[in-house]
């Protein structure tokens, strides 16, 4: 009996987890599930501001919204950190195809972000279909020159963790316009990087490589449109008619990261960051990407204040600007942290949707990971169990490069890539309980790290 008691005591001492932590997580959960304001905040952001691509007037309004929401949450200090961002605009666009039957059919399309369009003119050219890069590389120069190349690469539905499927398919969004341009193609169509059983096209970023001379138009089409185009290409020659006004404006625009802070009571110099990104694509409402991450980060501040928690370390909620098509906010935050010699002990990003939380990705050394793993049991009552993945977040990647331990909230990933970067990423597709549970998970993790440090 004595030995068993001793073993239990030793185990308890070594895991830094106390009954008090468990009680505090329950208090945090009750506060957020019963009185949380994150869902109301998300409604205002989505419905009153709407989508908010960096550099746009809507993004400027989102900054004002974020500043106000952070103050209402009760942050000790709220400030705006200047960030210069690119400003890309979409304009009017359409894509028609005419196949063997002679009928002209409109496809559901979106220009890929950061691309140059056709200057609003209609470009007409034969469409050449390939299923992947390998097949493209086997085409002769004649088969590519002045053609519209259609990359029919599918999001791999066999991969259960959809972020793996995204990582696999998204290279077509980044690479296809570059490789096609370097071999003389006129334009590129890709099958949207989408798990969706629907016809929503997905936009998202690309970047023309420095070595690529012609910045050719590139568009994504919905899965049903892609299926139709495949069918037509198999029947015979298909002519595409593409018109797009998309272009990058020459000047950068002054914008801001929005930051709210609660000063640490014992170690104010040690900073724990929690954040999401305030910008979104210029379609839908940027609800799951990443309105949910913003309102969950603000909820951390609100819940701490409502419960009278005085964190030992400084807790900072950051709404980063321009994650989608430049990462300028994350870079500015990292540069400022370096210039001020700030001591960040942990950074957590929530940018994977407002779905039921399942776990945390961790990017840190083995010793620190082991400490976080010891908190696992505290999260089990909230359905959060997977701490096995190596995931952080794009906005906090500059901190990661400075050796700051980083982490990412991992919600259930099955629906995210149906909605991501589409017209369908709207407030109505966020569930209030799932969103709040995510806020409980991030607030709990921020509490534990600010209380115990990360050694
Ligand atoms: Zn995002």
pLDDT at 295 over 70: yes
Whole-angstrom Cα distance, residue 189 to residue 365? 41
* Gap from CA of 293 to ligand 1 centroid (Å): 8
Which residues in the chain are classed under CATH 3.40.630.10? 16-87+251-452
* Gap from CA of 105 to ligand 1 centroid (Å): 32
* Gap from CA of 349 to ligand 1 centroid (Å): 10
pLDDT at 14 over 70: no
* Gap from CA of 289 to ligand 1 centroid (Å): 4
pLDDT at 211 over 70: yes
* Gap from CA of 350 to ligand 1 centroid (Å): 9
pLDDT at position 175: 96
Which residues in the chain are classed under CATH 3.50.30.30? 89-248
Judge contact between 352 and 327, C-beta under 8 A. no
For range 56-84, the mean pLDDT: 98
* Gap from CA of 351 to ligand 1 centroid (Å): 5
* Gap from CA of 316 to ligand 1 centroid (Å): 19
Encode pLDDT of 30-55 as tens digits.
Answer: 999 999 999 999 999 999 999 999 99
pLDDT at position 18: 84
Whole-angstrom Cα distance, residue 143 to residue 441? 53
Whole-angstrom Cα distance, residue 178 to residue 214? 9
pLDDT at position 11: 46
* Gap from CA of 331 to ligand 1 centroid (Å): 15
pLDDT at 88 over 60: yes
For range 316-330, the mean pLDDT: 98
Q: What sign does the CA torsion over 187, 191, 194, 200 have?
A: positive
Homologous superfamily (CATH) of 16-87+251-452 is: Zn peptidases (3.40.630.10)
pLDDT at 141 over 70: yes
Judge contact between 223 and 169, C-beta under 8 A. no
Buried b (16+ CB within 10 A) or exposed e, 409-433: bbbbbebbbbbbbbbbbbbebbeee
Look at 1 and 28; give whichever has higher pLDDT: 28
* Gap from CA of 87 to ligand 1 centroid (Å): 17
pLDDT at 16 over 90: no
* Gap from CA of 277 to ligand 1 centroid (Å): 6
Q: What sign does the CA torsion over 329, 334, 335, 340 have?
A: positive
Structure tokens at 46: 């989505």
**CATH code assigned to 89-248:** 3.50.30.30
Confidence of residue 179 (pLDDT cuts 50, 70, 90): very high
For range 319-325, the mean pLDDT: 98
């Amino acid at each position: 009996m004595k030995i068993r008691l001793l073993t239990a005591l030793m185990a308890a001492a070594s895991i830094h987890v106390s009954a008090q932590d468990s009680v505090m997580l329950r208090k945090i959960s009750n506060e957020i599930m019963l009185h949380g304001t994150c869902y109301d905040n998300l409604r205002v952001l989505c419905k009153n501001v709407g989508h908010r691509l960096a550099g746009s007037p809507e993004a400027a309004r989102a900054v004002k919204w974020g500043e106000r929401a952070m103050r209402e949450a009760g942050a000790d200090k709220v400030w705006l950190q200047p960030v210069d961002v690119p400003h890309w605009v979409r304009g009017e666009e359409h894509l028609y195809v005419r196949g063997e039957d002679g009928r002209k059919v409109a496809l559901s399309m979106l220009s890929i972000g950061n691309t140059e369009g056709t200057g609003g003119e209609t470009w007409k050219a034969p469409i050449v279909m390939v299923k992947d890069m390998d097949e493209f590389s086997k085409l002769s120069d004649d088969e590519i020159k002045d053609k519209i190349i259609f990359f029919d690469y599918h999001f791999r539905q066999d991969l259960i963790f959809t972020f793996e499927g995204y990582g696999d398919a998204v290279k077509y969004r980044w690479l296809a316009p570059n490789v096609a341009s370097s071999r003389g193609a006129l334009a590129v169509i890709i099958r949207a990087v989408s798990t969706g059983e629907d016809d929503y096209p997905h936009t998202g970023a690309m970047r023309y490589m420095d070595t690529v001379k012609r910045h050719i138009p590139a568009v994504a089409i919905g899965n049903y449109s892609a299926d139709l185009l495949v069918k037509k290409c198999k029947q015979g020659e298909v002519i595409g008619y593409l018109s797009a006004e998309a272009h990058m404006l020459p000047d950068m625009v002054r914008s801001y990261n929005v930051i709210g802070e609660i000063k640490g009571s014992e170690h104010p110099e040690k900073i724990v960051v929690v954040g999401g990104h305030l910008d979104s694509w210029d379609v839908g409402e940027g609800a799951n990407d990443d309105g949910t991450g913003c309102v969950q980060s603000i909820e951390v501040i609100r819940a701490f204040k409502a419960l009278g928690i005085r964190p030992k370390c400084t807790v900072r909620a950051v709404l980063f600007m321009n994650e989608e098509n430049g990462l300028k906010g994350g870079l500015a935050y990292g540069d400022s942290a370096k210039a001020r010699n700030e001591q960040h002990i942990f950074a957590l990003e929530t940018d994977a949707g407002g779905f039921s939380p399942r776990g945390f990705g961790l990017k840190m050394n083995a010793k620190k990971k082991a400490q976080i793993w010891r908190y696992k049991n505290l999260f089990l009552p909230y359905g959060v169990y997977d701490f096995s993945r190596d995931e952080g977040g794009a906005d906090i990647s500059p901190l990661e490069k400075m050796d700051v331990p980083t982490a990412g909230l991992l919600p259930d990933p099955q629906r995210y890539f149906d909605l991501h970067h589409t017209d369908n990423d709207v407030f109505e597709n966020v569930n209030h309980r799932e969103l709040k549970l995510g806020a409980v998970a991030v607030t709990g993790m921020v509490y534990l790290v600010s209380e115990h440090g990360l050694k």
